[in-house]
């Protein structure tokens, strides 16, 4: 009845209407002055462009409530016209059929879905350079998730490809593509002009917040702007390539390191998704998630370090803890991905030139996040990966049994590294070592081997999350492994610096989980706050809240026995993230200008001064 009545209403006529179910007659009359509005409403309900836009508006409103990016509605200046144009363009590519409107909409809707899923998982907006990194993300997903993604993305895209019509619509396609080509050429060829025009015509760009920028200007629009900014930044680093100011400072630090007598060893351990459940203030567990040995050793000694990422992109955290600069993503979604192996003024190279042996132990594949080129460029003289992934390479460790877990357990990694370091110190006690270790255990989906690591902790209360419960049980076994490792290092190397830091928080069910469980206040900013533990000369110490990129300053201050912080700002107070990033941008550009250039000036300078090759 309702549908028939609506048809009658939109027809603009007056006639008797009989409902067969209720057997009554109803007469509807539309005043002449209102008929144009009803005709407009009728056209709106059957117009594909209006329906497409209304769907996206509704979709983004719903996803916003579920932790996705903001609603499309405020982004009317460029985003909405761009979406309608792209929808028109895709319609021109397809043969006419009843399903044409749906098939043409599929790629755009899927693209928006990818934006939201990526944001929910990683807490940041997708950029063009990061699209090339999605295959690396797919490598670490379980088969079921891969099958689901393949189905959800593959079927609509196959339908789109099957509906393409090239023979009879070439002229229309070519004409329709001109605005798109002009826009892309402007971004790639004249990025500064595009940025200036964007800033004048669009709403505010909030550089410290992808969410706020997307709310103001839209997903696609901000992706284009970020790409133009990346292109513009590449043009601006020429001065940094020829005259990197950070080299002068590095030379001073290197000289200070060389002058030190009785150099002390440094151990830096980066742990994958190391979540401290005690910081989830509204979560209840059947027992203390921390192992008793860990609580006894490091209870109430944990600090907070701000990671550049949430839930993924470990290499971004690595970049910060090893290079001492914020991961600004101005040249790539992952800084390490554009490293060429050229010598770069990061912490490992400074230590190497100051007389340290620099070793990197990575528990995953060497081709992941371009780590071999990155580690070479930043100054690691020796790089070790599991023998399962490096046939023919020199290495000292193996993943061991990863049945039901996929990733190498921290305890297996730590025990082999401890044995390696203990032997190395015994054989050559006078040559100091920088021992960098990065694990992968704790990665989503947090699976445990039920025989070796049975469930010991249950979630209590109304809030239940299977992924979180797994992560908490992993935390119990991981803290046991940390306690044994730290005790072993202190025994073998009592006068040393040990830093253990989480790369980022696990994704769980997205940032909403952290909000619901009030993780350090439950704000979006809190999802970038991670645990850090510092042990100096066998004793735990606690710093104020720092950034990941402050860690090299702590290390250099320890290595120079306090002299580094007499000449540099080491006042680690609770930092303003954006102010700190702006202050560190020149150092970031110095590093990136050297890292991306295989023939950089620093490559030649480093060849003259490097002590250990």
Residue 280 exposure: Cα atoms within 13 Å on the Cβ side: 26
Q: Are residues 523 and 375 in the same domain?
A: yes
pLDDT at 384: 95
Both 373 and 495 in one domain: the answer is yes
CA 8-13-14 angle, to 5 degrees, is 95
> CA torsion, points 274, 278, 281, 287, in degrees to nearest 10?
120
Backbone angles phi, psi at 397, to 5 degrees: -140, 165
Count Cα atoms within 13 angstroms, Cβ side, for 384.
Answer: 20
For the segment 324-346, what is each residue's pLDDT rounded down to a tens digit? 999 988 887 788 888 888 899 99
Q: How far is CA 137 from each of CA 156, 407, 455, 581, rounded to the nearest angstrom?
A: 21, 15, 28, 27
- Whose CA is closest to 400, among 444, 445, 453? 453
- Give how far the C-alpha of residue 316 lies from the chain's centroid of Cα atoms, to the nearest Å: 7
Q: Residue 101: pLDDT above 90?
A: yes
The pair of structure tokens assigned to 313 is: 């992109």
Whether residues 66 and 26 share a domain: the answer is no
Given a cut of 50, is residue 121 above it in pLDDT? yes
> Between the CA atoms of 74, 79, 80 and 85, what dihedral angle is there, to the nearest 10 degrees?
180
- Residues 374 and 231 placed together within one structural domain of the fold: no
Q: Cβ distance 323 to 379 under 8 Å?
A: no
Question: Is position 191 within any domain?
Answer: yes
In this structure, the answer to whether residues 203 and 271 fall within a common structural domain is: no
Whether 425 is covered by a domain: the verdict is yes
Looking at the structure, tell me whether residues 231 and 312 fall in a common domain: no
pLDDT in tens, 433-461: 999 999 999 998 899 999 999 999 999 98
552 vs 381: CA distance, rounded Å: 18
Structural domain of residue 31, as residue ranges?
Answer: 2-40
pLDDT digits (tens, 9 = 90+) for 477-532: 999 999 999 999 999 999 999 999 999 999 888 888 999 999 999 888 899 999 99
Per residue in 228-245, pLDDT (tens digit) is: 887 887 777 766 655 555
Residues 194 and 228 in one domain: yes
pLDDT of residue 572 exceeding 80, the answer is no
pLDDT tens-digit map of 246-288:
555 788 899 999 999 989 999 999 999 999 999 999 999 999 9
| 461 vs 4, more confident | 461
pLDDT exceeding 90 applies to what percent of the chain? 53
Six token digits for residue 190: 């004249």
For residue 265, the model assigns a pLDDT of 97
Question: What total number of domains does the chain contain?
Answer: 3
The per-residue pLDDT for range 374-396, each reduced to its tens digit, is 999 999 999 999 998 876 678 99
Q: 53-65: per-residue pLDDT in tens?
A: 999 999 999 988 8
Asked whether the bond before 483 is cis by omega within 30 degrees of 0, the reply is no
CA 298 from centroid of its chain's CA atoms:
29
Dihedral-angle region of residue 31 (phi above 0 means left; psi in -120 to 50 means alpha; beta otherwise): beta
**Mean pLDDT along residues 538-559:** 93
Is 188 among the domain residues?
A: yes
CATH number, domain containing residue 274: 3.40.720.10
Q: Is residue 29 part of a domain?
A: yes
Same domain for 110 and 6? no
| Residue 12: band (very low, low, confident or very high) from pLDDT cuts 50, 70, 90 | very low
Within a domain: 552:
yes
In a domain, 260, yes or no: no
Spell out the residues 6+ positions from residue 296 whose beta carbon is closer than 8 angstroms to its own. 483
């Amino acid at each position: 009845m309702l549908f028939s009545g609506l048809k009658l209403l939109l027809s603009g006529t007056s006639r008797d209407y009989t409902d067969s179910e209720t057997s009554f007659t109803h007469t509807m009359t539309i005043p002449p002055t209102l008929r144009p509005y009803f005709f407009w409403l009728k056209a709106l309900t059957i117009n594909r462009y209006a329906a497409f836009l209304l769907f996206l508006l509704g979709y983004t409103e719903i996803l916003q409530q579920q932790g996705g990016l903001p609603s499309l509605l405020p982004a009317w200046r460029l985003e909405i016209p761009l979406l309608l144009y792209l929808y028109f363009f895709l319609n021109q590519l397809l043969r006419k059929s009843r399903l044409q409107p749906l098939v043409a909409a599929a790629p755009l809707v899927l693209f928006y879905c990818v934006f939201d899923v990526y944001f929910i998982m990683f807490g940041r907006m997708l950029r063009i350079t990061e699209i090339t990194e999605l295959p690396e993300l797919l490598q670490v997903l379980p088969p079921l998730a891969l099958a689901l993604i393949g189905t959800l993305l593959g079927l609509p895209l196959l339908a789109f490809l099957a509906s393409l019509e090239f023979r009879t619509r070439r002229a229309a396609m070519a004409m329709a593509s001109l605005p798109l080509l002009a826009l892309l050429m402007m971004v790639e060829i004249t990025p500064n002009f595009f940025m200036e025009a964007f800033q004048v015509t669009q709403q505010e760009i909030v550089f410290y917040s992808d969410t706020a920028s997307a709310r103001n200007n839209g997903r696609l629009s901000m992706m284009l702007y970020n790409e133009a900014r990346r292109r513009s930044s590449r043009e601006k680093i020429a001065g940094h390539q020829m005259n990197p100011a950070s080299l002068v400072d590095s030379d001073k630090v290197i000289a200070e390191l060389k002058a030190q007598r009785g150099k002390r060893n440094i151990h830096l351990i980066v742990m994958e998704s190391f979540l401290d459940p005690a910081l989830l203030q509204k979560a209840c567990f059947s027992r203390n998630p921390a192992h008793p040995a860990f609580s006894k050793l490091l209870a109430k000694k944990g600090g907070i370090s701000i990671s550049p990422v949430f839930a993924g992109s470990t290499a971004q955290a690595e970049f910060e803890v090893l290079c001492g600069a914020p991961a600004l993503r101005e040249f790539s979604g992952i800084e390490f991905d554009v490293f060429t192996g050229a010598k770069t003024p990061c912490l490992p190279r400074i230590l190497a030139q100051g007389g340290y042996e620099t070793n990197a132990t990575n528990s995953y594949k060497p081709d992941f996040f371009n780590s071999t080129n990155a580690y070479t460029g930043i100054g690691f003289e020796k790089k070790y990966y599991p023998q399962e992934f490096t046939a023919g390479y020199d290495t000292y460790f193996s993943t061991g049994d990863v049945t039901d877990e996929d990733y190498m357990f921290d305890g297996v990694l730590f025990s082999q590294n401890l044995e390696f370091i203990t032997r190395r110190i015994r054989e050559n006690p006078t040559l100091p070592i920088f021992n960098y270790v990065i694990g992968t255990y704790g990665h989503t989906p947090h699976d445990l081997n039920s025989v070796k690591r049975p469930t010991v902790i249950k979630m209590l209360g109304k809030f239940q999350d299977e992924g979180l419960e797994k992560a908490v049980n992993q935390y119990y076994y991981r803290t046991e492994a940390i306690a044994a490792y730290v005790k072993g290092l202190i025994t073998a190397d009592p006068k040393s610096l040990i830093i253990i830091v989480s790369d980022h928080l696990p994704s769980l069910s997205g940032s909403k989980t952290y909000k619901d469980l009030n993780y350090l206040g439950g704000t979006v900013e809190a999802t970038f706050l991670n645990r850090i533990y510092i042990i100096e000369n066998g004793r735990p110490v606690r710093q104020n809240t720092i950034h990941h990129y402050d860690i090299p300053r702590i290390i250099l201050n320890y290595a120079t026995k306090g002299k580094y912080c007499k000449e540099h700002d080491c006042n680690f107070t609770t930092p303003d993230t954006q102010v700190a990033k702006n202050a560190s941008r020149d150092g970031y550009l110095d590093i990136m200008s050297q890292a991306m250039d295989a023939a950089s000036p620093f490559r030649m300078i480093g060849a003259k001064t490097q002590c250990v090759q």
